[in-house]
Structure 1
Amino acid sequence: MRRISDYFKLGEVFRYFLRVFRKPDPNRPTSVNLRMMHGINRISIIMFTICLIVMIFRACTR
């Protein structure tokens, strides 16, 4: 049985967020599909962060 703390480990998620914004590794093969997927992920992460900031700002100013 897993402990509750195992469900809240977000290290893999944060490592992916940081990896998406780095330059690609020249040793790994790249394709157009992979580059497009990472580009869309960058846009969605940035939009999510902006919306989160706006929601926090609105909640604090009320």
Structure 2
Amino acid sequence: MKRYFQLGEVFSYFIRVFKKRDPNNPDSFNLRMMHGINRISIIMFLICVIVMIVRALTR
């Protein structure tokens, strides 16, 4: 059960997506677009969480 709640890989992906490209890893157009879309969705999610927290605190 403990294995299902480990979030280390998830957080490492969030950090990795915002880093500059590693020249040792293969690069393709599809991979760059996927990381770009993931950056946008992570930023939108964080903005929405902040808005929800602010709304909850101001009620």
TM class by shorter chain equals over 0.9
Q: State the SS of the aligned residue for 1:35.
A: helix
Aligned position for 1:28:
25
Larger Rg: 1
Q: State the SS of the aligned residue for 2:26.
A: coil
Q: Distance in 2 between matches of 1:29 and 1:10?
A: 26
Where does the alignment leave 5 or more consecutive residues of structure 2 unmatched? none
What is the TM-score of this pair, normalised by structure 2? 0.94
**RMSD (Å) for aligned C-alpha atoms:** 0.8
After superposition, residues 1-62 of structure 1 pair within 5 angstroms as 4-62=1-59
Residue 36 of structure 1 aligns with an amino acid whose one-letter code is: M
Q: Distance in 2 between matches of 1:57 and 1:11?
A: 27
Where does the alignment leave 5 or more consecutive residues of structure 1 unmatched? none
* % same residue: 75
What is the TM-score of this pair, normalised by structure 1? 0.90
